[in-house]
């Protein structure tokens, strides 16, 4: 009988050790299991369009556009004055040919400056948007780290009706986030943080 109780105790002890080992392994597996990601959402378009930095840049560009438009108007007035003066001249005379040459040169210069200005604005806008976007990415990362988030997803506003079917289809094809609970929206926090950066 004593032998039987020793065997029973030994079996029970072995069973308890096996169960404890299995429990510890299960706990380790549970601890190492991937937890659900903590996710935030940012409306990138809203941040880019409403940031104080972008508004300042737009004001600067608006002033530059006004100044350029005034210079173009002055050049156009000179061009039109030459054209009016040309109508008073007799075709083929030396004065006529001289004015005609001046008019053609001013017209070409006006066209070239207009093309250059359009290119300049496009390049400056692209450079500014890329720079602001890089700042936005840094701010989003900082806000996400402060909130203990694992990832932030971009949400883009869909304005309906769309200007064209092509615009609508492009938005539908590129839009990745279809729904989110507003508690995950970081847009206002990111906008405020972006405006605080230099």
Indicate if 123 and 189 belong to the same structural domain: yes
Q: How far apart are CA 68 and CA 85, in angstroms?
A: 26
Q: What percent of the chain lies above the pLDDT cut of 70?
A: 88
Indicate if 54 and 111 belong to the same structural domain: yes
Q: How many domains does the chain have?
A: 2
Single pTM value for the model: 0.67
Indicate if 61 and 105 belong to the same structural domain: yes
Q: 8 is in which domain, residue-wise? A: 1-33
Indicate if 26 and 105 belong to the same structural domain: no
**Neighbouring residues of 53: CB distance < 8 A, sequence distance ≥ 6:** 132, 135, 194, 195, 197
Indicate if 27 and 81 belong to the same structural domain: no
pLDDT, average across residues 75-92: 91
- Which whole-number Å values give the CA distances from 111 to 14, 62, 107, 114, in the listed order? 94, 21, 6, 5
Q: Which parts of 59-157 are beta strand (E)?
A: 151-155
Indicate if 69 and 88 belong to the same structural domain: yes
pLDDT, average across residues 92-115: 93
Indicate if 69 and 137 belong to the same structural domain: yes
On the question of pLDDT at 11 being above 80, the answer is: no
Q: How far apart are CA 151 and CA 92, in angstroms?
A: 75
- For 94, counting Cβ atoms within 10 Å of its Cβ (0-12 exposed, 13-18 middle, 19+ buried), the class is exposed
Indicate if 10 and 95 belong to the same structural domain: no
pLDDT, average across residues 127-133: 92
pLDDT, average across residues 27-31: 62
- Shortest CA distance to 42 belongs to which of 158, 175, 179, 189? 189
Greatest Cα pair distance in the chain: 139
């Amino acid at each position: 009988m004593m032998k039987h109780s020793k065997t029973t105790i030994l079996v029970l002890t072995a069973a308890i050790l096996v169960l404890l080992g299995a429990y510890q392994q299960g706990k380790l597996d549970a601890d190492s299991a991937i937890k659900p990601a903590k996710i935030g959402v940012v409306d990138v378009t809203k941040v880019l369009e409403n940031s104080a930095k972008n508004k300042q840049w737009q004001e600067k560009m608006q002033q530059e556009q006004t100044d350029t438009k005034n210079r173009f108007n002055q050049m156009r007035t000179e061009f039109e004055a030459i054209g009016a003066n040309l109508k008073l001249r007799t075709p083929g005379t030396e004065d006529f040919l001289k004015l005609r040459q001046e008019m053609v040169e001013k017209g070409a210069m006006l066209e070239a400056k207009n093309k250059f200005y359009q290119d300049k604005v496009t390049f400056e806008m692209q450079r500014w948007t890329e720079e602001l976007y890089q700042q936005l990415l840094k701010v989003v990362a900082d806000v996400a780290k402060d909130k203990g988030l694992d990832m932030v997803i971009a949400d883009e506003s869909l304005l309906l009706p769309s200007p064209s079917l092509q615009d609508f289809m492009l938005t539908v094809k590129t839009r990745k986030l279809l729904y989110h609970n507003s508690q995950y929206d970081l847009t206002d926090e990111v906008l405020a943080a972006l405006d605080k950066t230099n």
